Amino acid sequence: MAFTEQELQYWKNHYPLLHDITALHPVFWLNPQIKQVQNLPSLAVNKTDIEEAEQLWRRFIPFLQQAFPETNGIIESPLREISSMKEKLTNDFALPFAGELYLKCDNQLPIAGSIKARGGIYEVLQHAEKSALDAGLVTKETNYAVFASEKLKSFFQKYSIGVGSTGNLGLSIGIISAKLGFHVSVYMSREAKQWKKDLLREKGATVLEFPGDFSEAISKGRQKTQENPLGYFVDDEDSKHLFLGYSVAALHLQKQLDEKQIKVDHEHPLFVYLPCGVGGSPGGITFGLKQVFGDHVHCFFVEPTHSPSVLIGLLTGEKEKVSVQDFGIDNRTAADGLAVGRPSRFATSISEHLISGIYTIEDDELYKLLFTLAASEDIYVEPSAAAGLPGPGKIAQTTYMEKHNLNAEQATHIAWATGGALVPETDRKQFYEKGRDLMESSR
């Protein structure tokens, strides 16, 4: 429920940044609660959990190879240096910075075409494994190619999976669940893109549409799914499994950095910019990266000016207890995966002490960045996925480097491109043209 004028005044007096946030101005916030890794309180997950998640992915390689021949059994994306984009950020966006700029191309992730392939597919695989282990159909030593067999498919037919989604999570859960043989229902907000609904139905998922935003679709879905004793609900607002699925990305990124001989240590800081919705994917990846690189990695989240849910949750300390709507913010943004009014309970309680900060960005800026990335690097992403690109230039405008005694010249910056591969050609063209027109009119 929205706060009264008086209550809002109280919050704004305590947290003056809320004046700009509620006026929908882009802001840059540094997290006063960040702790050095050695001083962290005990968290709900640990390094062993990530390693076990990695092993589960490994067990499923033979299944993924068989069910999705376009993959090699591994769901990963390239890390690409984007120096032309760096030049454009300097010249066309007035966002110069020192160090190298890379793009983590999760826009190319197989199967789901977005970062949701990491968390969503992981959660369904762990549920499938657990169900099959409990029924005595497999052991952890079995060759998991058997998960592609008719026998297991018919076993999973009596199980159902539900998920509430603005789109990308639904795609990832829907596609993998249907492939395994589960009966899967995706609860979507009515505004979700038609092509996403069509694609899901084509893959064998049931799509149910609800008016209002994502949170309502989630509560309806949770309730309906749990009416079936063999029902399993993937809860984006509170999921440890999604979180762990995302966290494995850190182990793979470490390998990719090694292969490129990119050092990460006190002399060579690593900066990562992660588009943020409920905070699960950026939270899981940040958690993983902190386990791997400790205090040498600096993680920033990015949210749309109209959906700053994690920012408000962390700034006020109220986390999932408040929504952007409580503060009179409308949660309307073209950044599909980021249009979230309330943060994840599970993820936010962990990110609270790990992230360096959050900045917000306007939709028009996303289109301009999307266009510029396509024009300069021939990489096509969806609007949400462009949000990390201005990060390095924004840091350079602050005293962050000096304050932390960091060598900016030797920094590596990674913008996490979180989605795009499944966007149909017509939408892609529209995004691109919109960005081009905005660039031209701002010259």
Cα 161 to its chain centre, rounded Å, is: 21
Residues 6 or more apart whose Cβ sits within 8 Å of residue 287: 43, 45, 50, 243, 247, 250, 350, 351, 354
418 binds ligand PLP (CB under 6 A): yes
311 binds ligand PLP (CB under 6 A): no
Which of 73, 174, 269, 277 binds ligand PLP (CB under 6 A)? It is 277
Which of 116, 296, 306, 394 binds ligand PLP (CB under 6 A)? It is 116
176 binds ligand PLP (CB under 6 A): no
Which one of 40-48, 72-80, 88-96, 114-122 is the stretch in contact with ligand PLP (CB under 6 A)? Answer: 114-122
Which of 75, 115, 138, 188 binds ligand PLP (CB under 6 A)? It is 115
Distance of alpha carbon 267 from alpha carbon 115, whole angstroms: 30
Residue nearest ligand PLP, CB atom distance: 337
Residues 6 or more apart whose Cβ sits within 8 Å of residue 71: 64, 65, 110, 111
Residue with tokens 């309970």: 345
Distance of alpha carbon 54 from alpha carbon 439, whole angstroms: 42
Residues 6 or more apart whose Cβ sits within 8 Å of residue 66: 145, 148
Which one of 54-62, 67-75, 84-92, 275-283 is the stretch in contact with ligand PLP (CB under 6 A)? Answer: 275-283
Whose Cβ is closer to ligand PLP: residue 247's or residue 418's?
Answer: 418
Cα 208 to its chain centre, rounded Å, is: 23
Cα 185 to its chain centre, rounded Å, is: 21
Task: Give the total of residues touching ligand PLP (CB under 6 A).
Answer: 20
Per the CB < 8 A criterion, the answer to whether 316 and 249 are in contact is: no
Q: How far is the CB of 250 from ligand PLP (least distance, A)?
A: 15
280 binds ligand PLP (CB under 6 A): yes
282 binds ligand PLP (CB under 6 A): yes
168 binds ligand PLP (CB under 6 A): yes
384 binds ligand PLP (CB under 6 A): yes
Residues 6 or more apart whose Cβ sits within 8 Å of residue 182: 124, 128, 156, 157, 159, 160, 161
Which one of 40-48, 88-96, 108-116, 194-202 is the stretch in contact with ligand PLP (CB under 6 A)? Answer: 108-116
172 binds ligand PLP (CB under 6 A): no
Whose Cβ is closer to ligand PLP: residue 275's or residue 308's?
Answer: 275
Whose Cβ is closer to ligand PLP: residue 296's or residue 434's?
Answer: 434
Which one of 28-36, 269-277, 324-332, 363-371 is the stretch in contact with ligand PLP (CB under 6 A)? Answer: 269-277
Which of 163, 180, 276, 292 binds ligand PLP (CB under 6 A)? It is 276
Residues 6 or more apart whose Cβ sits within 8 Å of residue 354: 34, 35, 40, 283, 286, 287, 290, 299
Whose Cβ is closer to ligand PLP: residue 185's or residue 384's?
Answer: 384
Binding site for ligand PLP (CB under 6 A): 114-116, 168, 275-282, 337-338, 340, 382, 384-385, 418-419
